[in-house]
Amino acid sequence: ADARERDAENTQIAQVKEQMRRMKFEDSEKENADNHDDDNEDDDDSDDDDEFDHLLDDDENDALEAMRQARIAELKLQQSQRAQNISLGHGSLRTISQDEFLPECTGSSRYVCVHFFHDDFERCKIMDFHLKIIARDHMEAKFLRIDAAKSPFFVHKLRVKTLPALFVFDNGKEIGQLTGFEGLAKDSKKPDEWQTGRLKEWISSTGAIQYERPSEEMEEELKRMGIVMRGAVYSDRERSGMDDEY
């Protein structure tokens, strides 16, 4: 992530430099056009040009410094937010008990995603696999898992009938529920094989995380640059692909 941020910053700086070079070139062209019929330019004109170039250099340096300071402030804010989120239990998929459910879902974190699982259900392991990746990538939400067999009250309260079941809460209010892998697999013959980005898209649709799938144009440009987008896929070819009734 730090490397991507540095690359983005370097790209912005390069763009500013290019804009300043174009400004200098255009001003130079204009100056040449104005003096096209004048064959008696003296050294004072050259000195003026040097002074003008110096002012442009100062403007360029000021612009780059302002950009650098803004970027530093942005990084400091991101680090502060990250530290705060970690203190609230973000950044990993944690297992909680039934007694911890309400405090975790109605505490300081606005968005909370909770996976109701069962140790004997293979599909719950697949859901955990993807949620661990998402929890690491998206610090803006809290990701939890709770054993359905040990949480009868909330299983009944939330009417959990099928596992895995993923719930999204906004300040304690349910705003999304995903039953099984509904809508995640592109190939109906391989319902358990889907990329993590598919689940990211669903969670993002609730507002809990910020994620936008790269456009086809972006993917093509990345391929041209030798960068291939790959999403994690959990594969278990021996399963029938049926959800586990609970």
Q: How far is residue 207's CA from residue 143's CA, in Å, rounded to a whole number?
A: 14
| pLDDT at position 10 | 67
| pLDDT at position 154 | 97
| pLDDT at position 139 | 92
Cα dihedral 38, 43, 44, 45, rounded to 10, equals 40
Work out the mean pLDDT of the chain and round it to a whole number. 80
| pLDDT at position 144 | 97
Taking each helix axis as running N to C, give the angle between helix 43-87 and helix 2-34, from 0 to 180 degrees, rounded to the nearest 10: 160
Mean pLDDT of 188-205: 93
- pLDDT per position as a tens digit, 131-143: 999 999 999 999 9
Mean pLDDT of 100-127: 95
First to last CA, the chain: 40
Band of the pLDDT at 86, cuts 50, 70, 90? Answer: confident
